[in-house]
Amino acid sequence: MTSHSGYTLHHPQWLRRRVSTWWWLSRWRYFKFILREITSVFVAAAVVLLLLYVAALRRGPDALIAFQSWLSRPPILAASAVVFFFTLIHSITWFNLAPKAMKVRLGNIPVPPALIAAGHYFAWLVISLALAWIILTGG
Amino acid sequence: MPELVNLEVFRYSPEHTPEPRFQKFQVPYNKEWVVLDALNYIKDRTDGSLSFRWSCRMGICGSCGVLINGEPKLSCATFLPSKSSKPIRIEPLRHFPVIRDLIVHIGDFMTKLKKVKPWIIRTNESPLSEGEFLQTPDEMERYHQFSHCINCMLCYAACPIYGLDPLFAGPAAIALAQRYNNDSRDQGAARRMPILSSHDGIWACTFVGECTQVCPKHVDPAAAIQQYKLTAALHSLKSVIAPRGAA
Amino acid sequence: MDSPAHDVLILGGGGAGLRAAIAVAQSAPELRVAVLSKVYPMRSHTVSAEGGAAGVVAKDDSLDEHAYDTISGGDWLCDQDAVESFVRAAPQELTQLEHWGCPWSRDASGHIAVRAFGGMRKMRTWFAADKTGFHLLHTLFQTTLQYDSIHRYDEWFATRLLIDDGRVQGVVAIDASTGRIQAITAHAVILCTGGCGRVFPFTTNANIKNGDGMSLAWRAGAPLKDMEFVQYHPTGLPFTGILITEAARAEGGYLINKDGYRYLQDYDLGTPQLKPVLRSMELGPRDRLSQAFVHEQAKGRTIPSPHGDIVHLDLRHLGEDVINARLPFIRELCLKYQNLDPVTELIPVRPVVHYMMGGVHTNNEGATPLPGLYAAGEVACVSINGANRLGSNSLPELLVFGARAGLAAADYARSAHPPSDHVEAQAADEIRRLHTLLHRKGGRRIADIRVRMQSAMESGAGIFRDAKTLCDAANEIAELQSADVSLDDHSLTFNTEWIAALELSFMLDVAQAIVHSALSREESRGAHQRTDFPARDDSRYLAHTLIYHRHGDAPRVDYLPVTITRWPPGQRVYGR
């Protein structure tokens, strides 16, 4: 038999293929997934911004005004817009995922996925409006 | 002159082709032929050493999964494309060790399947003489989709997480665990929880969603995993708020 | 020699094999049981069964009626004591499957739903939509995973039974992934290897159904029984042979010829009604429906297609909702493999080889005449199917007799004694034979021999046969048996060609048994229709064919009287 020298009789010699570092470039859907994962840093950035805001608030009115003027500088405004945009996208993908994870039933009737998603969007809208009302009338 | 289809087939044999390579074959085009028919044509007429698995040829036994132009597919359920200028590339399923040519080793899945306890667990047995457990069509509907898994392994080949973290239980095993968890006759959800909610269980999943895309039986394993994440999260929340009640 | 590796070794991991394994593991946890299968168990062909499993549960039904339907459907060639015990055990086995989690379809109240099936006078077929076999197999497989005493040899291929002092003591098998050949000894062996549809060119059967177990038993000296009875299912998709379940007709589908005419009314099967009528028209037995197709073809009323003549199965009037709820897999198969939608289009169908009524001769407990050898499922012939099996009897059969064979083998294994050194010598012989085959060059290609065998069987031993066609087939098979095959692949690692060569020699054995059994039976009964002997002949052939292997010679045929208990042979009446 013309056997390969590395082969041992009756011993399995499986070919193990390594996953390439660039696997996420191999398919558009993988690439989209990685984009989604990477852009979650903007959600983290939104959280950091919020924390900075709270910290400024704690330090007193002067610090708050300084922070707000920093926020209104054009490069920071642009960055905030980007952060807002991706936070929005991630909120939408999150709410779209909700019907997959939640199987809601009213009595014996399963609630259709679209309705579950709609419920989430509705709650989002209500909470946003409530916040807007507090901020706009309270400020 | 009949129309011909070009194939590039992955070859590996530890004895004779230890360096994997692609081999080119030509088969006649036939509109009724699936990729599996082309492979069988090669095996019967050209090269009997080409090795691949197949059995039922009706998409239910789950044997014949391969990569066709990079996509995990059942070779019995994928028609040959007509007038294809580029050769069709056929490879073994990704993320599994290759034993030979298109044949991969799936022992890892078989071990994981057993670990998630995919069988009815009862705390109280009832004798057969009492007849069947009642289960309304609506109760059946809650797990039925997950019971359609044919163990074809396409979802493992599509899941980059499984490729990067071989300890991940994987889509099919979790979907089958959830199939039993959601079954009104089963009382074993608590016994499956330690395995499912471990680091290598559901939490390894980052919801790429590819498993559901490639599933030939519309099982939607991604949904099973996300559902269980919610269950597990609520469970740990409960165990924080009311440790005794949740135990 | 040392004590054997296993107490009970089961060949085949389909429905019968897994049911047997669970029976052993539950009844005798101390016994070491193993399942050896050439494919992973969940790939076994049980997975393809669609329509359902018969078991009496309805209030208006009775065991006697199930027994009568089975016996008349089998043209009185069934052993009636076996049928009686089978119909008694079937509902219990199906309930057991339910307790293990099988998703049987339900009525609104949560009880098991039953549907009509061919040749059955009552609705008694349990079903899991139209994927009954799939759910049954996966339920059984997943249930076996909880028993640590069940050892599995996945993707091992058994090539020979080891016999010591007239008793079966194990097998020689190839581990496909490494090519290692090993003797696996056991006190008892249960054959659960399924049927042999692949000896014919056009079949619903998977590639793995090569009559392996039939040939293993036959070569070891066990007789095969009633091998001339090959079931043609009336509705397979042309070219692929994919099965379109009888449930499609039970739900109300019509079989129509090229004129749109429900032709079965011309063949003493009743008068057409809008709704399905039990034991009538499209719900007649499979043998009669397949034969009606051939008559219709002779009259020129079928439709030519590139893959042989066809008729149409019309489901359009059932509507999308019924098709989706009760026949989802049929719709999926038509869409994926035939590129048509049964909701709006006609399904082309033709008769297709589906099931082997015959098999290894066993008694009611699954024991063959060879001590230590048991058989259950399609590989076995008990016989409850006689000359024609009724649809939905095969799934309960593999459960009932799988469980019984498991219990009987476990019992036997407890009292058996270990094999002698003689077994080692046999194994050494077999290893030499297999290595010689592996290195064989310069013969004929496997596919050439296989194609010739299949066409010889189709033209010689098809739906209608006569002495001449059968003799021609017998000669052709004999010639093919003596031909040398050559292999392209001489490697040990997952050599599918090596295994295919061994499967081919198993199939040639089975083909020989079919042809010679058919030649011997000079009458027409059920699925065995001799144009030169068109009538049933109870005076000579109310008996089972037993065929014995003779090395290098034509097989020997013998007959065993049918057991009649309460139903003397009568006329098979359908549709009136």
Q: What is the pLDDT of residue A2?
A: 44
Band (A93; pLDDT cuts 50, 70, 90): confident
pLDDT digits (tens, 9 = 90+) for B74-84: 999 999 987 76
Decide: C64 and C159 in contact? Cβ < 8 Å. Answer: no
Residues in chain B with CB shorter than 8 Å from the CB of A27 are: 70
What integer pLDDT is reported at residue C13 of this predicted model?
A: 98
Six-digit token string for B10:
């992955």
pLDDT at A112: 87
How many C-beta atoms surround the C-beta of residue C520 within 10 A? 16
Q: What is the CATH number of domain A23-137?
A: 1.20.1300.10
Q: For the segment A113-122, what is each residue's pLDDT rounded down to a tens digit?
A: 889 889 999 9
Rounded CA-CA distance B170/B159 in Å is: 8
**B103–C494 CB contact, under 8 Å:** yes
Q: Which of B166, B175, B164 shows the shortest CA–CA distance to B211?
A: B175
Greatest distance between any 2 Cα atoms in chain A: 88
DSSP-derived 3-state class of residue B65: strand
Amino acid at C59: K
Domain ranges of chain A: 23-137
Q: Choose the closest CB to C177 out of A1, A9, A12.
A: A12
Per-residue pLDDT band for B242 (boundaries 50, 70, 90) equals confident
Residue C466 burial (C-beta neighbours within 10 Å; 0-12, 13-18, 19+): middle
Q: Which residues contact B139 (CB under 8 A, 6 or more apart)?
A: B184, C110
Q: How far apart are CA A116 and CA B19, in angstroms?
A: 52
Whether C98 has a pLDDT exceeding 80, the answer reads yes
pLDDT at residue A1, as a whole number:
42
Mean pLDDT of C56-79: 97
**For residue range C204-247, what is the model confidence (pLDDT) as tens digits?**
999 999 999 999 999 999 999 999 999 999 999 999 999 999 99
CA distance C527 to B141: 40
Give the closest of A1, A10, A13 to C490, CB-based. A1
Q: Percent of chain B, pLDDT > 70?
A: 97
The shares of helix, strand and coil residues in chain A, as percent rounded to the nearest 5, are: 70, 5, 25
CB contacts, 8 Å: C488 with chain A: none
pLDDT at A108: 73
Chain A residues contacting C, CB < 8 Å? 1, 9-13
Beta-strand ranges (E) seen in C192-315 are 224-225, 230-236, 254-256, 311-314
- Chosen for mutation from A10, A11, A13, A14 (greatest number of chain C CBs closer than 10 Å) is A10
- Per-residue pLDDT, averaged over C375-394, amounts to 97
Structure confidence by residue, pLDDT tens digits, C516-532: 999 999 999 999 999 99
Q: Do residues C491 and B17 touch, judged by C-beta distance below 8 A?
A: no
pLDDT at residue B247 is higher than 60:
no
Q: What is the mean pLDDT of residues B34-47?
A: 97
On whether the CB atoms of residues B92 and B101 are closer than 8 A, the answer is yes
Mean pLDDT of B229-236: 92
pLDDT at C7: 96
Please, which residues 465-504 of chain C have a Cβ atom closer than 8 Å to chain B?
Answer: 487-489, 491-497
Residue B77 is predicted with a pLDDT of 96
Q: Does C177 sit within 8 Å of A9, measured CB to CB?
A: no
Q: How far is CA C256 from the centre of its chain?
A: 28
C305-334 residues touching B, CB cutoff 8 A: 329, 332-333
Which of C6, C233, C350, C572 is labelled catalytic? Answer: C233
pLDDT value for B218: 96
Q: DSSP per residue over B19-59, as a string?
A: EEEEEEEEEE--TT-BHHHHHHHIIIII-TT-------SSS
How much is the pLDDT for A102? 82
Which domains are assigned to chain B? 4-104 (3.10.20.30), 107-241 (1.10.1060.10)
Asked if the model's pLDDT at residue C88 lies above 80, the reply is: yes
What crossing angle do the helices spanning C212-219 and C496-520 adopt, rounded to 10°? 70
Chain A interface test: which of B10, B21, B98 (most A C-beta within 10 Å):
B98
- Tell me which chain C residues have a C-beta less than 8 angstroms from the C-beta of A10: 175, 178-180, 492
Give me the sign of the Cα torsion angle A55, A58, A63, A67.
positive
B69 to chain A: which residues are within 8 Å by CB? none
pLDDT at B230 over 80: yes
Alpha carbon distance B152, B59 (integer Å): 9
* C492:B136 CB<8 A: no
**Mean pLDDT computed over every residue of chain B:** 94
pLDDT of residue A106: 78
Band (A103; pLDDT cuts 50, 70, 90)? confident
Query: Is B60–C131 a contact, with Cβ atoms under 8 angstroms apart?
Result: yes
Q: Which of C104, C93, C23 is nearest to C56 (CA)?
A: C93
A8 part of contact set with chain B, CB < 8 Å: no
Tokens of C407: 């219990």
Kindly identify which residue of chain B lies nearest to residue C153, measuring between CA atoms: B107
The subunits that touch chain A, with at least 3 C-beta pairs less than 8 Å apart, are B, C
The answer to whether the Cβ–Cβ distance between C98 and B133 falls below 8 Å is yes
Nearest Cα residue in chain C from A7: C493
| Surface of C (329-358) touching B: CB under 8 A | 329, 332-333, 336-337
- From chain B, the residues in CB contact with C147 under 8 A are none
Six token digits for residue A71: 């926020």
> Is C242 within 8 Å of B57 when comparing Cβ atoms?
yes
Contact list in C for residue A12 (CB cut-off 8 A) is 177-178, 493
Residues of C in contact with B128 (CB under 8 A): 92, 95-96, 99
- Whole-number Å distance between alpha carbons of C319 and C323: 6
| Cβ contact C34:C6 at 8 Å | yes
To the nearest whole number, what is the mean pLDDT of chain C? 97
Pairwise CB contact (< 8 Å): A19 & B163: yes
Q: Quickly count: other Cβ atoms within 10 Å of residue B213's Cβ.
A: 15
Q: Least CB-CB distance to C145: which of B114, B126, B131?
A: B114
Nearest to A9, CA basis, from C181, C427, C492: C492
Listed in sequence order, the DSSP H helices in C275-393 are 286-298, 319-326, 328-337
**Predicted confidence band of residue B244 (pLDDT cuts 50, 70, 90):** low
Check residue C447 and report its DSSP letter: H
Q: Where are the alpha helices (DSSP H) in C112-173?
A: 132-144
Task: Indicate the length of chain B as a whole number.
Answer: 247
Q: Quick one: which H or E segment has residue C427?
A: helix C422-438
Indicate the pLDDT class of residue A7, thresholds 50, 70 and 90: confident
Q: How confident is the model at residue B246 (pLDDT cuts 50, 70, 90)?
A: very low
CA B241 to chain centre: 38
**pLDDT band at A98; cut points 50, 70, 90:** confident
Active site includes C350?
no
The lowest-confidence range among C222-226, C278-282, C416-420 is: C416-420
Examine the pLDDT at B185 and tell me if it is beyond 80: yes
**Inter-chain touch A10–C177, beta carbons under 8 Å:** no
CB C263 within 8 A of CB C296: yes
C233 is catalytic: yes
In this predicted structure, the answer to whether residue A4 has a pLDDT above a threshold of 80 is no
Place of tokens 């670990």: B115
Residues of C in contact with A15 (CB under 8 A): none
Q: What percent of chain C has pLDDT over 70?
A: 99
A95 CB within 8 Å of a chain B CB? no
Q: Are C151 and C35 in contact, with CB atoms under 8 Å apart?
A: yes
With bands split at pLDDT 50, 70 and 90, how would you rate the model's confidence at B2?
Answer: confident
Half-sphere exposure of A53 (CA within 13 A, CB side): 9
| CB contact burial B154-186 (16+ within 10 A = b; e otherwise) | bbbbbbbbbbeebebbbbbbbbbbbbbbbbebb
Residue B105 has pLDDT above 50, yes or no: yes
Contact B106 C495 (CB under 8 A): no
